Structure 1
Amino acid sequence: MAQIPNLDNAALNLTALREQSQKELLSIIKSIRGKKCLVIDPKLAGTLSLILQTSVLKEYGTELRILSADPLQTECPKVVYLVRSQLNFMKFVANQIKNDESKGLQREYHLYFVPRRIVACEKILEEEKVHQKLTIGEYPLYLVPLDEDVLSLELDYSLQFAFGVIPNIRAKGVASTKAAELLNHMQLEDPMGIPEIDTVILLDREVDMVTPMCSQLTYEGLLDEMLEIHNGSVEVDASIMGAQQDGKKVKVPLNSSDKLYKEIRDLNLHVVVQVVRQKATSIQQDYAEVKSTNTQSVSELKDFVKRLHSLPEIARHVNLAQHLQSFAAKPAFHARVEIEQIILEAQTYETLFPPLNSMLLEFYSFRPII
């Protein structure tokens, strides 16, 4: 399953951004010859999976590890740390190097800060007496495309450096209006390049304080609510996806590269089940027709084979939708949605107290009650 999202239909040239990040990361890897261990901080691991397939790194003799407080377990003679500029990570790096030295291991160490190095981090490395043992550099990861219409900004001003200052700023809400005025003033003082983005719309959170508190009812919303989407994917038990591997976790990518997901992500769960069932039934009927007759033309057979390629996507979302339904069918979920509707419709609030009391007595999660 492809983890990296397809960006061909993006409104901006996000493919070029991703290719630049790929090029710079591979440049670091290629500059360190031979077998090496790439140690990544936990949050960056998910981010890098949206930029480059791990199989590409392995082609250059790279072994992957996640940075932790534990000693580093690897046989590689060269270690490359790729970490965000956080002080606690410097302690981890220093302790791992010291642990290697206590065992008499002679290794070559490299440290690349993301997106840039800071003095405070290097000061800690000096205090730990490992700074001289490290070759230090930067990996300027500023913008990460999560999908064709979603960007993660890893550094201030990186969007305008990439696409120019946005000329038209529209704002809704008091705080957004103040931010827009400040941005307009800054642009007059320091204009930059020809913009690729025409307009930005700023929405103040205070314009709508209620919506974020409500239960999400779309397919994508429920996936995030119940399984938590991180870096364009969810991690679930393999058994949920139909595999006979109890306890094993699998990552399921969720982005616009999956055409079926792109079609159903904003639909209500009940509608999703109907759409997926309809697609599966249609392919099943086509298969029965192909099997029972020999009258199909080559082009018709080609179309049928093309549709067969969507079967893994259909199976994936059948399993996920079925898992979500098991949660959505519970009385507690229905009660929560009903309470939210009563509040939103400004009905009599007296009817709210009995179900809320029941939730508290049943040790229901306190966060959704609030």
Structure 2
Amino acid sequence: MAHTERRDAPGLPDFSLLKRLARDQLIFLLEQLPGKKDLFIDADLMSPLDRIANVTILKQHEVDKLYKVELKPVVSSSDQLCFLIRPRIQTVKWISDLVNSDKVAGRFRRYKIIFTPQKFYACETILEEQGVYGGRICDKTLSIIDWMRIKAVFHVICLCM
């Protein structure tokens, strides 16, 4: 029996609007750190990031180099570092150590942390305790991207196809 389309079933929804919304939100947050910057991405977020903003788009918004967060010393020569991370205490401690080691070395950089899918109070507390929140970190309100919703949408797309 040949497969025919059901006329009473709706077509696949258009998720391009959600994709564009996530991309625009990321671009807005990246542009809050004007000029060339290096972007450090949590390994778990690389695939969702690639689905909404490829390297070309990131380069257009002055992302110079991309790094995977590996919790080891940073080799970046950029004066601006942006971190796209999940709210994990170990990662936040690593960023705090990086900021403080730059301070001890007399190196001034600007930093931005973008948490996804949410910001935890514990992470904020660690940044405050380490003396980096609101000082060297670019803004006092750490940014949040709700990519879990976007990721769920892509899983639905995959199931529908």
TM-score, structure 1 normalization: 0.36
Q: Which amino acid aligns with 1:125?
A: L
Aligned residues: 143
Residue deviations 1:323-349 (CA, integer Å, cap 9, x gap): xxxxxxxxxxxxxxxxxxxxxxxxxxx
Matched, 1:89 2:97: no
Q: Which amino acid aligns with 2:46?
A: A
Q: Which amino acid aligns with 2:25?
A: E
Q: Which amino acid aligns with 2:66?
A: L
The answer to whether the 8 A contact 2:80-2:111 is kept is yes
Which residue in 2 is equivalent to 1:123? 125
Residue deviations 1:295-320 (CA, integer Å, cap 9, x gap): xxxxxxxxxxxxxxxxxxxxxxxxxx
Residue deviations 1:66-90 (CA, integer Å, cap 9, x gap): 1122122212111111111111111
Measured in 2, the distance between the counterparts of 1:97 and 1:51 equals: 29
Q: Which amino acid aligns with 1:112?
A: I
Measured in 1, the distance between the counterparts of 2:146 and 2:157 equals: 22
Which residue in 2 is equivalent to 1:12? 13
Q: Which amino acid aligns with 1:39?
A: F
Which residue in 2 is equivalent to 1:71? 73
Which residue in 2 is equivalent to 1:158? none
CA apart distance, 1:114: 0.6
Residue 85 and residue 71 in structure 1: after superposition, are their counterparts in 2 closer, same or farther (change >3 A)? same
Which residue in 1 is equivalent to 2:145? 139
Q: Which amino acid aligns with 1:53?
A: N
CA apart distance, 1:30: 2.0
Measured in 2, the distance between the counterparts of 1:57 and 1:69 equals: 23
Structure 2 counterpart SS, 1:143: helix
More helix by share: 1
Structure 2 counterpart SS, 1:70: coil
CA apart distance, 1:103: 2.3
Matched, 1:27 2:28: yes
Matches within 5 A, 1:284-363: none
Q: Which amino acid aligns with 1:36?
A: K
The answer to whether the 8 A contact 1:71-1:99 is kept is no
Among all aligned residue pairs of Structure 1 and Structure 2, give the percentage whose two residues are the same amino acid: 23
The answer to whether the 8 A contact 1:14-1:148 is kept is no
CA apart distance, 1:147: 6.2
Unaligned 5+ segments in structure 1 are 1-9, 152-255, 257-370
Structure 1 counterpart SS, 2:74: coil
Residue range with higher mean Cα deviation, 57-66 or 132-141: 132-141
Measured in 2, the distance between the counterparts of 1:131 and 1:30 equals: 20
Matches within 5 A, 1:194-343: none
Q: Which amino acid aligns with 2:40?
A: V
